[in-house]
Structure 1
Amino acid sequence: MPLLEVQQVDVFYGDFRAIAGVSLSLQAGEVLALIGANGAGKTTLLRTVTGLLKPRSGRICFEGADVTALPAEELARRGVAMVPEGRMLFPSLTVEENLQMGTLTRRKGAWTLDTVYDIFPVLKDLRQRNAMQLSGGQQQMVAIGRALLSNPRLLICDELSLGLAPLVVEEIYRTFERIRGADLSIVLVEQDVARACAVSDRVSCLLKGQVTLQGASRAMELSQVTAAYFGE
């Protein structure tokens, strides 16, 4: 049984159909890279999976249960966590207080403040600093750590590398092997197609709200990805 199933989902903004009949699935422990140009519908799909948007039709199942109508807070309690584009930290809180917001789901698991500080040691030194005083890369680490502290089964990451220096991106992605080792499934939106294929098990490409390519990352050829990405 897949951990996550999206079945023929349509999502509208008013009369505009942003997602059109999208289906995908994710197995436990798997990393799925979601790629596509700006405006392809990636963030809309992620917001739908996390309960922030409701589909007009179709179904979303998590751990075998239909969760289509559930609110975001209930999905978080069931083990769905998101690292949002732009990080969305609480500007009035310290680094450690932002991290502790992830514990509000009260889910039990391997992720604690100590394990987060272990993979992101720089945050331990900065834990009493206001989160807005950190660099972009350090703020991204806080956003990832906050999500991990909810001890999710599914971690959804939207544009982790956006606006960050290449060396910082490399540092963040080096943590992924350790994160994956915690029996965690990941959906990753990434503009860098080569990186997305390198860190994932499977790839799904969206174009104008529709899936144009799905398959094993290692089996993907550049020409296939390019055609699916640009609709050629």
Structure 2
Amino acid sequence: MPLLDIDAVNVFYGDFQALSGVSISLEAGEVLALIGANGAGKTTLLRSITGLMAPRQGRIRFDGADVAGMPAQALARLGIAMVPEGRMLFPSLTVQENLQMGTLTRRTGPWTLGAVYDTFPVLKDLRHRNATQLSGGQQQMVAIGRALLSNPRLLLCDELSLGLAPLVVEDIYRTFSRIRSEGLSIVLVEQDVARACAVSDQMACLLKGQVTLQGASAAVSNAQVTAAYFGE
């Protein structure tokens, strides 16, 4: 049984249909790369999984339970966490206080404050600094650490590399092996298609709210990805 099973989901913004018949599944411990151009529906899908938007039709199952339309706080307690696009840190809080917001789910597991500092050592040195005083890459590390401290079973990452220098992106992606070692399932939205496919087990491409390609990341060709991405 998949950990995450999305079946024929339709999502609307008013009268505008943002997702149309989207069906995607993810096994426990797998990484799914979700690719597509701006406006393809990637963030809308993540928001639907986390309870920030409710599908009008279709089902979203998490660990076998139908969770479509459940409030975000209930889904967080079940073990779904998101690293949002733009990081969305609390500007009035320190680095450590931002990280500790992830513990509000009261879920237990391998991710403690010490484990996060082991994964991102620079954050320990900056823990008493205001989060707004950090570089973009350091802020992204805080956003990832905050999500991990909720000890999720499913981690949703929305545009981890957006606006970051290539060396910083490399540093962040190097942590993925450590994060995956704890058995996390991950949905990764990433504009860098080659990188997304390289670090994932499965991939799915969205175009105008519909899935145009999905399968094992290692099995899809560049030509298939290009055709699905641009609708050729």
Report the TM-score, using the length of structure 2 for normalisation: 1.00
What SS does the corresponding residue of 1:173 show, helix, strand or coil?
helix
Q: Distance in 2 between matches of 1:190 and 1:100?
A: 26
The aligned runs of 1:51-66 (5 Å cut-off) are 51-66=51-66
Q: Distance in 2 between matches of 1:111 and 1:55?
A: 31
What SS does the corresponding residue of 1:129 show, helix, strand or coil?
coil
Q: Distance in 2 between matches of 1:220 and 1:213?
A: 9
Q: Distance in 2 between matches of 1:70 and 1:56?
A: 13
Q: Distance in 1 between matches of 2:104 and 2:26?
A: 26
Q: Distance in 1 between matches of 2:69 and 2:13?
A: 17
Paired residue for 1:177?
177
Asked if 1:73 is matched to 2:73, the reply is yes
Paired residue for 2:202?
202
The aligned runs of 1:91-170 (5 Å cut-off) are 91-170=91-170
Asked if 1:27 is matched to 2:27, the reply is yes
Paired residue for 1:224?
224
Q: Distance in 1 between matches of 2:220 and 2:99?
A: 37
Q: Structure 1 runs of 4+ off > 3 angstroms?
A: none
Paired residue for 2:17?
17
Paired residue for 2:39?
39
The size of the alignment, in residue pairs, is 232
Q: Distance in 2 between matches of 1:177 and 1:17?
A: 36
What SS does the corresponding residue of 2:6 show, helix, strand or coil?
strand
Q: Distance in 1 between matches of 2:202 and 2:27?
A: 10
Paired residue for 1:82?
82
Q: CA deviation at 1:70?
A: 0.8
Q: Distance in 2 between matches of 1:117 and 1:57?
A: 42
Deviations 1:91-136 (A, max 9, x none): 0000000000000000010000000000100000000000000000
CA contact (8 A) 2:53 2:69 kept: no
CA contact (8 A) 2:79 2:153 kept: yes
Deviations 1:9-48 (A, max 9, x none): 0000011100000000000000000000000000000000
Q: Distance in 2 between matches of 1:217 and 1:189?
A: 14
Q: Compute the RMSD of aligned alpha carbons.
A: 0.3
Report the TM-score, using the length of structure 1 for normalisation: 1.00
Deviations 1:33-67 (A, max 9, x none): 00000000000000000000000000100000011
Q: Distance in 1 between matches of 2:216 and 2:66?
A: 26
Q: CA deviation at 1:69?
A: 2.3
- Unmatched 5+ residue regions in structure 2? none
CA contact (8 A) 2:19 2:45 kept: yes
Q: Distance in 2 between matches of 1:120 and 1:80?
A: 21
- Unmatched 5+ residue regions in structure 1? none
Counterpart amino acid of residue 78 in structure 1: L
Q: Distance in 2 between matches of 1:195 and 1:82?
A: 20
Q: Distance in 2 between matches of 1:14 and 1:67?
A: 22
What SS does the corresponding residue of 2:118 show, helix, strand or coil?
helix
Q: Distance in 1 between matches of 2:167 and 2:198?
A: 17
